[in-house]
Structures are given as structure tokens and as C-alpha cells.
């Protein structure tokens, strides 16, 4: 009997390897042979974010069918890790929630799996690792014996975990967050710092991508430790000077400061580039613009809070001056929708704060980024109303396109709305959906107006809309043809 009727087993396995998770699950129910053939593909890449029972069930399935050695990517996290829907970007070390998974129920089974996963590539433990190791000490030696080869994320690491994992060989990508309790005055801070520094020193040459807890960076500020090969760094908030940061991490190319920005002290006293090949700056507006101003090599600039948020009317003019001086290929902008002004016209002209008026903002933006190909625009209003949506759709379908269709070669546009609808306006918004464009209306307008656009992503969680991706696909994709001169269809991907 063959795995799939009508084809030999080699072809069947080739087909199975291309299937998505729902299709794999369906095939596994067709026969016992299919069940065993599909198993390794079902557990190769797994995200467990629902409950302790889900994690335990996965571990038992893997152990019962001897599949631990086929697990490549394992992600375990809280049922809801998106408090940051009102934030633009968040450090992966910040994931402490009241509904976090309690590891006591699955710790022993997970240790059994980790002891057998010799081919693990990435492991995301978005649970309290301190509690996990206290519940099942075998987790630590299992990680030391079989560390993931590419990425490791550990959250809420405390005294027990620090001491148990001090000899762990880290993969190149490390995300490490500490338990807040270890910084209390009664804590044995020196012993913990010694264990942490032993771990980081042993892995300093190996690390390429890091996202560390803010307290860990403060520790590094006081030590002579260097990480010569780190190219991508995420710093939630940092009081050390930028010169010290460049000394500790001399090879940074991708810089992300997502949470609090940096103090004036951190930026003072610098008049030239800190990193000779900085390509990307992402995070709060002030630090991102500061980095772009001092680094001619920057090509990617993503600001998740307005530059000069409390500044003057000409704040964005300063941004445009920096953008014009840099060959920006990828740009991310955050637009704050202000408090509703019922005396203002119902148009995008009052979309943003006074120093971000449309008359100054959008035209200046388009002229400042003639080489931009990738655009990521976030519109944010925590307490949204019906009028907020009027303004939002005016911007999405008219104001923004009118400026950006002048760009010579935009290829990808992401439009995101971040906010919660006020309870008082929910019924009115629900009953008035026909007054606003549909998802199809939005993407159709963008593709029709911007001929070079290839991908369009919509992340507008309104009326149950789900995040969606749209692509312009050539009907006749032959070499040598002008891609913009061909008739092409739009498909959802």
C-alpha cells in the first residue's frame, strides 16, 4: 500500500513536503501510512501559543512517535503577546503578561523533547524560564547538550537559570530577558552578574544578532567586553553614550531602539559616524534621524514615533532634509492621528499634529525619497472614533497616493492602522461599513495608480478585516518583456 493512492512513495513525499499545516493534517487522516509519513513535516516548524495543554499535547505526540529529532523550529509563547498593538515595534525581551503560560504542567515533557532534539535550529521560549528550570532542572542540561544552531530566545531568566545556563553555547541570534526580581536590593547581584558575564564572554565572538534586556546593556556599559561580530542589535532603552555602544558593538549594521529612545547624554559629543557600514536605523524618531544624520551609509530608515513629537511646525522639514541627503530605499513612518476636531474639515488636511500638516508632510516626503522602493506607513490613534476612520481612509486612498505615485519605482507598500475603536462609536461604525472603502477598493486603487507596485500589504484590523497581502502577477512572465507594459492580474497571497 502506498502513502498516497496512485503515485509512488518518493513522489508522495515530495508532494507532502510542499503542503501547509492544514493540508498536512488532512492527509495524515487518510491512512496509517500517511499518518506516519506526515508526522515529521507536521513538527518541523511549530508555534504553540494557546495553552499549557497544547504544549503538553505536542510534547507527548513528539515523544510517542519518536519525532523529537525532526523538530527544527519551536516557538512557545503566551496566548496573547500583542499588548503592543498600540506600539509600533517591541523588543522581544518584553513579553511579561498576566496570562503567560505556567510551565509546571509541561516542563518535564518539554525537557524530554529537548534532550532528544539534536537538529533544533531555533527555540523561542516566551515563558518564565526561571520558573521552567525550577520546575524541571533537566531543561538546562538539555539546552547545553543540544543548543539550537541559529536562534535562542529566553525570557525572565533569574538566579537559578543564570547559574544553570552559564556554560550554554549560544547560537548566533540571541534574545535574552531577565526576571525583574533579580535586581532587587536583597538579590545576590554580583553572583548573577558574574554568571551572565561568563556566558556572554564565552559567546562574544559567536554572536551576530542580539536583543538583550535593558539591564544587561547597563552591565556591559561597566565592563570591557566587546562583541566584534554583532551586526544587528535591538536596544530597548539605553543610557550609555553612543560612543560606548560603538565600542562594545563595533560592527553594527542594523540598529533598532524600539521602546524609549535615548537620552541627550547618549547622543552628545558625536559629530561623525560611529559605525562605518550602518545600513538600517529603526525605532523612535529622534534617535533614528540622529543616526541617519551622522551615517551616510544608511539606506533603511523606520521611525515608529514622530520625529520632534513635541517640537515645532517645521520638525518634519528637518526629517526631509536628512532623507534628501541619504539614498533611502526603505522607509517606515508613524503618523499620529490627533484628537478629533469637530470644527475641522472632513479630510486628511487635519490628519496629523500641527507640525505635520498634510500640506507640509506628504509632498515633502515624496520629494525627499526618490529612490524609495519599500514603504511602511502606520496610522495610529489609541482611542479611535468614527471621525478617525473618515480621516484614515481619506489618507489611505487619496492623500498618500497623490504624493507617492510620483515616486519612480515603488515596489512594496504596507499600510497599517493601530488603534482601538471607542465603545461609544462601535455601533455607528458597524452600521456604516458601506460608507468606507472595502479592502478590495483600497488595494485596487493603489495598484491602478502606481504601475510599478508589485506587493501591497494591508494591516487594518477594522470590522474583522484580517491582515492581507496582494501581489501584481504577470500573465506572461517571459524574459525580456517590460514588466510594467504587460497586462497583469492582482492576486491575494
Q: Are 467 and 458 in contact (CB under 8 A)?
A: yes
pLDDT > 70? residue 185:
no
pLDDT 10s digits, 216-262: 888 887 788 999 999 999 988 766 778 888 999 999 999 998 766 55
pLDDT > 60? residue 104:
yes
- Rounded Cα distance between 34 and 21, Å, is 14
- Rounded Cα distance between 383 and 480, Å, is 51
3-class DSSP assignment, residue 372: coil
Which residues have a Cβ under 8 Å from the Cβ of 294 and sit 6 or more positions away? 270, 271, 272, 273, 274
Q: Are 144 and 154 in contact (CB under 8 A)?
A: no
- Rounded Cα distance between 369 and 322, Å, is 10
pLDDT 10s digits, 189-215: 788 888 999 999 999 999 999 999 888
pLDDT > 90? residue 296:
yes
pLDDT 10s digits, 36-81: 888 888 889 999 988 999 999 999 999 999 999 999 999 999 876 5
- Rounded Cα distance between 192 and 181, Å, is 12
Which residues have a Cβ under 8 Å from the Cβ of 142 and sit 6 or more positions away? 111, 114, 115
- Rounded Cα distance between 423 and 297, Å, is 46
Better-scored residue on pLDDT, 229 or 13: 229
Span 85-113, mean pLDDT?
72
Q: Show the CA angle centred on residue 453, arms to residues 414 and 334, nearest 5°.
A: 25
Q: How many CB atoms lie within 10 A of CB 466?
A: 9
- DSSP classification of residue 86: G
The per-residue pLDDT for 95 is: 54
pLDDT tier at 338, thresholds 50, 70, 90: low
pLDDT > 60? residue 353:
no
Better-scored residue on pLDDT, 471 or 180: 471
State what percent of residues in the chain have pLDDT above 90.
38
Highest mean pLDDT among 328-337, 356-365, 407-416, 474-483: 407-416
437: left (phi over 0), alpha (psi -120 to 50) or beta: beta
- Rounded Cα distance between 20 and 132, Å, is 31
* Least confident range of 171-180, 435-444, 453-462, 484-493: 484-493
The per-residue pLDDT for 184 is: 60
Q: Which residue has the cell 483600497?
A: 442
DSSP 153-207: EEEEE-HHHHHHTTT----SEEEEEE-GGGGSTTS-HHHHHHHHHHHHHHHTTT-
The per-residue pLDDT for 327 is: 94
423-432 per-residue burial string, b: 16 or more CB within 10 A, e: under 16: eebeeebeee
The per-residue pLDDT for 421 is: 79
For 42-86, where are the E strands, in sequence order? Answer: 45-48, 73-76
The per-residue pLDDT for 283 is: 86
3-class DSSP assignment, residue 449: helix
Q: Are 118 and 146 in contact (CB under 8 A)?
A: yes
238-256 per-residue burial string, b: 16 or more CB within 10 A, e: under 16: bebbbebbbebbebbebbb
The rounded mean pLDDT for the chain is 81
Q: How many CB atoms lie within 10 A of CB 266?
A: 22
pLDDT 10s digits, 354-371: 334 444 456 677 888 999
Instruction: From 61, 137, 142, select the one nearest 103 (Cα to Cα).
Output: 137
- Rounded Cα distance between 170 and 140, Å, is 13
The per-residue pLDDT for 103 is: 93
Span 454-478, mean pLDDT?
81
Instruction: From 172, 90, 175, 189, select the one nearest 129 (Cα to Cα).
Output: 175
- Strand pairing partners for 174? 152, 210
- Strand pairing partners for 234? 211, 256
pLDDT 10s digits, 116-161: 999 999 999 999 999 999 999 999 999 999 999 999 999 999 889 9
Q: Are 213 and 93 in contact (CB under 8 A)?
A: yes
The per-residue pLDDT for 269 is: 59
Instruction: From 181, 179, 140, select the one nearest 163 (Cα to Cα).
Output: 140
DSSP 259-319: SS-B-HHHHTT--S-SSTT--EEEESHHHHHHHHHH-TT--EEEESS-TTTTS-TTHHHHH
- Rounded Cα distance between 43 and 395, Å, is 43
Highest mean pLDDT among 12-21, 305-314, 408-417: 408-417
- DSSP classification of residue 350: G
45-75 per-residue burial string, b: 16 or more CB within 10 A, e: under 16: ebebeeebebbbebbeebeeeebbebbbbbe
- Strand pairing partners for 469? 457
Amino acid at each position: 500500500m502506498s502513502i498516497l493512492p496512485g503515485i509512488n512513495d518518493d513522489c508522495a513525499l515530495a508532494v507532502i513536503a510542499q503542503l501547509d499545516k492544514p493540508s498536512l493534517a488532512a492527509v495524515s487522516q487518510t491512512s496509517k501510512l500517511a499518518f506516519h509519513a506526515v508526522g515529521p513535516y507536521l513538527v518541523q516548524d511549530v508555534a504553540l501559543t494557546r495553552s499549557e495543554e497544547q504544549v503538553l499535547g505536542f510534547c507527548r505526540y513528539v515523544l510517542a512517535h519518536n519525532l523529537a529529532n525532526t523538530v527544527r523550529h519551536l516557538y512557545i509563547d503566551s496566548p496573547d503577546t500583542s499588548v503592543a498593538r498600540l506600539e509600533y515595534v517591541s523588543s522581544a525581551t518584553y513579553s511579561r503578561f498576566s496570562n503567560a503560560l505556567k510551565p509546571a504542567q509541561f516542563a518535564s515533557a518539554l525537557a524530554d523533547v529537548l534532550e532528544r532534539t539534536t537538529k533544533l535550529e531555533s527555540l523561542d521560549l516566551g515563558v518564565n524560564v526561571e520558573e521552567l528550570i525550577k520546575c524541571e532542572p533537566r531543561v538546562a542540561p538539555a539546552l547545553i547538550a543540544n543548543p539550537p544552531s541559529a536562534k535562542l530566545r529566553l525570557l525572565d531568566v533569574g538566579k537559578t537559570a543564570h547559574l544553570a545556563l552559564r556554560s550554554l553555547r549560544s547560537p548566533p541570534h540571541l534574545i535574552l530577558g531577565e526576571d525583574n526580581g533579580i535586581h532587587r536590593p536583597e538579590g545576590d547581584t554580583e553572583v548573577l552578574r558574574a554568571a551572565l558575564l561568563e556566558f556572554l564572554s564565552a559567546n562574544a565572538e559567536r554572536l551576530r544578532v542580539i536583543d538583550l534586556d535593558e539591564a544587561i546593556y547597563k552591565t556591559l556599559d561597566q565592563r570591557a567586553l566587546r562583541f566584534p561580530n554583532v551586526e544587528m542589535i535591538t536596544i530597548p532603552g539605553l543610557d550609555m553614550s553612543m560612543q560606548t555602544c560603538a565600542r562594545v558593538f563595533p560592527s553594527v549594521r542594523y540598529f533598532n531602539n524600539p521602546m524609549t529612545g535615548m537620552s541627550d547624554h547618549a547622543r552628545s559629543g558625536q559629530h561623525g559616524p560611529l559605525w562605518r557600514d550602518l545600513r538600517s536605523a529603526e525605532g523612535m524618531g529622534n534617535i533614528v534621524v540622529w543616526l541617519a544624520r551622522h551615517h551616510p551609509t544608511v539606506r533603511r530608515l523606520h521611525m515608529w514615533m514622530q520625529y520632534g513629537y513635541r517640537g515645532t511646525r517645521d520638525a518634519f522639514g528637518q526629517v526631509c532634509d536628512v532623507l534628501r541627503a541619504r539614498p533611502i530605499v526603505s522607509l517606515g513612518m508613524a503618523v499620529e492621528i490627533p484628537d478629533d476636531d469637530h470644527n475641522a474639515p472632513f479630510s486628511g488636511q487635519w490628519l496629523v499634529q500641527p507640525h505635520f500638516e498634510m500640506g507640509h508632510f506628504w509632498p515633502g516626503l515624496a520629494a525627499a525619497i526618490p529612490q524609495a522602493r519599500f514603504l511602511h506607513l502606520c496610522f495610529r490613534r489609541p482611542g479611535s472614533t468614527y471621525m478617525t476612520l473618515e480621516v484614515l481612509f481619506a489618507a489611505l486612498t487619496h492623500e498618500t497616493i497623490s504624493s507617492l505615485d510620483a515616486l519612480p519605482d515603488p515596489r512594496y507598500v504596507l499600510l497599517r492602522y493601530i488603534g482601538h475603536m471607542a465603545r461609544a462609536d462601535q455601533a455607528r461604525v458597524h452600521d456604516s461599513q458601506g460608507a468606507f472603502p472595502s479592502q478590495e477598493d483600497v488595494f485596487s486603487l493603489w495598484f491602478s495608480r502606481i504601475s510599478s507596485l508589485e506587493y501591497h500589504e494591508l494591516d487594518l484590523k477594522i470590522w474583522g478585516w484580517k491582515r492581507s497581502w496582494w501581489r501584481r502577477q504577470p500573465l506572461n512572465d517571459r524574459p525580456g518583456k517590460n514588466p510594467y507594459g504587460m497586462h497583469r492580474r492582482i492576486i491575494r497571497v
